[in-house]
A and B are shown apart, each in its own frame.
Chain A
Amino acid sequence: MKREYIYRAFERFWHWTQALLILFMMITGFEIHGSISFFGFDQAVRYHSLAARALLALIAFAIFWHLTTGEWRQYIPTRSHLRAQLAYYLFGIFRNAPHPTRKTGLSKLNPLQRLVYLGLKILVIPVLVLSGLLYMFYRYPSRHAIEALNIEGLRVVALLHTAGAFLLVAFLIAHLYLITTGRTPVSNLRAMITGWEELEAGEEKDSPGNAARQGATP
């Protein structure tokens, strides 16, 4: 069976650290929100802020990595095969049809993923990070001396942060499920752990039928 190296070391480190941090921040965040109780409010706030700082640092490293390696291009949206990918999830997957796109080191994301991850990166994460920063550094900077610097209250900040959190939870659930839609239910998971993806039989890179295919599942 042929294998291909898809996820590089930093990428895997980034992915799993981010996964842990986000999961942890979900628990502590929803405790701060008042939905659950686990650590106690004080500790939840402390952990949430610590994790936030770690996540910010990680995001800084990740942005640097994406820019210097050119990996950011993975998120450029494309319409080609978008319909086919949608059709695959809606119909093909139940008929054991082949994936319409193939995952390679050069194109890791299928057209749907590109759209969803781009949305995450330019909408959900920035909303969470910016509202989170305002949450952390909310300190009436000017004591009403400079109107433009006043934050009249946490309401808008908090509601944006909460909305972002709900979207991220929904994403996580869908993401965890879609992991299982690879060649086998665990092949995507294994790839994100080891970096290596086992290719479907007859799916060699240079096999003629696959020339047009690019990218695969989550």
Chain B
Amino acid sequence: MKRVIIVTVLIAAALVAASVALERRATDPSETDLLRRRYRARETASVDHAKFPQLRKRFAKPQEVTHECIACHNGRAREVMKSSHWNWEREEYIPGRGIRYVGKKNILNNFCIGTAGSHQSCNKCHIGYGWSDEKPFDFADSLNVDCLACHDNSNTYVKASGGAGLPDSSVNLTLVAQSVGLPTRTTCGTCHFFGGGGNNVKHGDLDAAMFATTRTVDVHMGLDGGDMQCTDCHTAHKHQMKGKTYSISSMNRNRVACEDCHSAMPHNDDILNEHTYKVACQSCHIPLFARVNKTKLRWDWSTAGRLRNGEPYEEKDSSGTDTYMSIKGSFVWAKNVRPEYAWSNGTASHYLLGDSIVAVPVKLNELHGDYGDPDARIIPVKIHTALQPYDPVYRRIVQPKLFAPRKGEGGYWQDFSWDASIRAGMALAGEPYSGHMGFVETEMVWPVNHMVAPKEDAVRCGECHTRNDSRLAGLTGFYMPGRDYSGALDTAGATLILLTCAGVVVHGAARVISRRSRRRGTRT
């Protein structure tokens, strides 16, 4: 008996040891610890621009600042002028359409629709001085490069509203010129957090709260997290920024990936690591977006243009968010939004001005990829829907002119006339307009990449691997444990089990009855 116990214990111990040894251990220090240390160490500027005599003077025009910048940093303006920040377009190869130049210059979205016709207003976020619809902008003039928009470290630089990219008159150009440095969350966020005409309107994961936030909102940018700046990930070589968004870009190139810093197999669990073949990191690590402020989920242009006493007005909900604006229509906003999920292989197609509408809702951009595509992974996205103006005769989305510096020039925000604004906008875009307009349902997909949550807040396995309201319920064409099953097989299996149980019950009952009757038989 003693021998039996010893052997049993030995074998059990061997089994336990084997299972434990096969589980991967956490390494110390972890990969994230090392990254945290690396990005915590901030570089300090090698020179103090405040001491340069060239910058210790009064600047009458911002172009004079640029002149001083490029006097020392020669050649840099030429780099900037090759960037999409400057050109607002990029060369893209679109399968089936060939090479097209696509960007903010000509792309249509379902927020403020497009920049054409409204440059004086939209170009508040252009890194140049003086791009308006009044006269052609000289893309070859390096003095128009706005170095300060990105390199101001004084946090006092603001561009004027409707000022065609020129700084606000309140800006002290001398102070700004003396305090230049690497771009910060503030310089980038001033434009990128406010895309679509307000905080967090477009992206949902880029919010003014991220100027200074906590790691629970964003592990990378949180002050108590990585305290990282945008350019830590969106690195630049010769002023060409890394990273892009599929609302505009079509090709799979120059992307920022989590794997640029983290390994492709970052978990201590093999099963989680296996997911990385088909699931992008963001899908699990961004459980919700718009976690601080609301983001816009729907924009209804058809209600725009209502006036009170001849004047435009705004309506706000209890939290102070615009729900209606005469100049823009009605909005639906949401906070803590659960992303939708889509396959993405890094390429996308776009509705381009002039395309015929083939299906409604009109997909203004579409991500490519499916389960069988070895380059495709599941990514989280924000879907933004809209009802926006179109030409029902030519079956095209139209580009209205929204902004004009004066009344009577066709600007919708000044005149509230769809006919005049579409006529003006389409003329500026060089496209025909039938003279009839209506509103059509459109859809845009915005990949969600920021607001990475602390790991303990990551999406739980059971939120996708479930039959009830799975996060991935919309993605089909593959088998996912916990979500999928074969109804026929489950029915067959349940039937087999029930039949076995029935057999046991019948056989057992027959045994009991026959034994009783035998006993009764022996008694009598």
Contact = CB atoms under 8 A, between A and B. Distances in A.
B19 A54 contact: yes
Contact of B462 (A40, A58, A155): A40
Contacts of A40: 460, 462
A200 B407 CA distance: 110
Contact of A153 (B466, B479, B518): B479
Contact of A41 (B461, B496, B499, B508): B461
A45 B15 contact: no
A94 B499 CA distance: 21
A9 B19 contact: no
A9 B490 CA distance: 38
B479 A155 contact: yes
* Chain B interface SS verdict (over half): helix
* Chain A interface SS verdict (over half): helix
Interface string A46-69: 100110011001100100000000
B4 A53 contact: no
B374 A32 contact: no
Nearest to B482: A34
Interface in A150-178: 152-155, 158-159, 162-163, 165-167, 169-170, 173-174, 177
B500 A41 contact: no
Given A54-B15, A162-B486, A154 B493 contact: no
Contact of B482 (A32, A95, A136, A170): A32
B504 A177 contact: yes
Contacts of B23: 50
A11 B81 CA distance: 79
A180 B22 CA distance: 39
B375 to A, nearest CB: 9
A9 B274 contact: no
B507 interface: yes
Interface stretch (A70-78, A115-123, A139-147): A139-147
Given A34-B485, A166-B492, A41 B462 contact: yes
Given A162-B485, A163-B489, A41 B466 contact: yes
Contacts of A173: 497, 500-501, 504
Interface string B248-277: 000000000000000000000111001001
Nearest to A138: B274
A13 interface: yes
Contacts of B518: 95-96
Contacts of A169: 493, 497
B489 A34 contact: no
A39 to B, nearest CB: 10
A139 B277 contact: yes
A206 interface: no
Nearest to B274: A139
B510 to A, nearest CB: 6
Given A153-B371, A170-B500, A34 B19 contact: no
A93 B493 CA distance: 29
B35 interface: no
Interface string B499-524: 11101100110110011001000000
Given A173-B497, A173-B500, A45 B19 contact: no
B236 interface: no
B372 interface: yes
A57 to B, nearest CB: 5
Contact of B514 (A58, A94, A158): A94
B504 A9 contact: no
Interface stretch (B6-14, B64-72, B159-167, B298-306): B6-14
B287 to A, nearest CB: 14
Interface in B20-35: 22-23
Interface string A20-49: 000000000000111100001110011001
B478 interface: yes
Interface in A179-198: 180-181
Residue of A50, A57, A89, A138 most packed against chain B (CB within 10 A): A57
Contacts of B499: 170
Contacts of A32: 465, 481-482
Contacts of A180: 508
Residue of B461, B467, B480 most packed against chain A (CB within 10 A): B461
B478 A33 contact: no
A9 B9 CA distance: 12
Contacts of A61: 11
Contacts of A135: 481
Contacts of B504: 173-174, 177
Given A9-B3, A9-B7, A153-B479, A49 B271 contact: yes
A167 B481 contact: no
Nearest to B513: A94
Given A154-B479, A158-B479, A94 B496 contact: no
Given A13-B11, A139-B274, A170-B496, A152 B372 contact: yes
A41 to B, nearest CB: 4
Contacts of B360: none
B60 interface: no
Contacts of B355: none
Given A53-B22, A154-B480, 16 more contacts: A13-B7, A33-B481, A34-B465, A34-B482, A35-B490, A40-B460, A41-B482, A45-B271, A61-B11, A95-B518, A140-B277, A158-B481, A163-B489, A166-B497, A170-B496, A177-B507
Interface of A: 9-10, 13, 17, 32-35, 40-42, 45-46, 49-50, 53-54, 57-58, 61, 89, 93-96, 135-136, 138-140, 143-144, 152-155, 158-159, 162-163, 165-167, 169-170, 173-174, 177, 180-181
Interface of B: 3-4, 7-8, 11-12, 14-16, 18-19, 22-23, 269-271, 274, 277-278, 371-372, 374, 460-462, 465-467, 478-486, 489-490, 492-494, 496-497, 499-501, 503-504, 507-508, 510-511, 514-515, 518
17 contacts: A9-B3, A13-B7, A33-B482, A34-B467, A41-B462, A53-B22, A94-B510, A96-B515, A139-B274, A140-B277, A140-B278, A155-B484, A158-B484, A166-B497, A170-B497, A173-B500, A180-B508
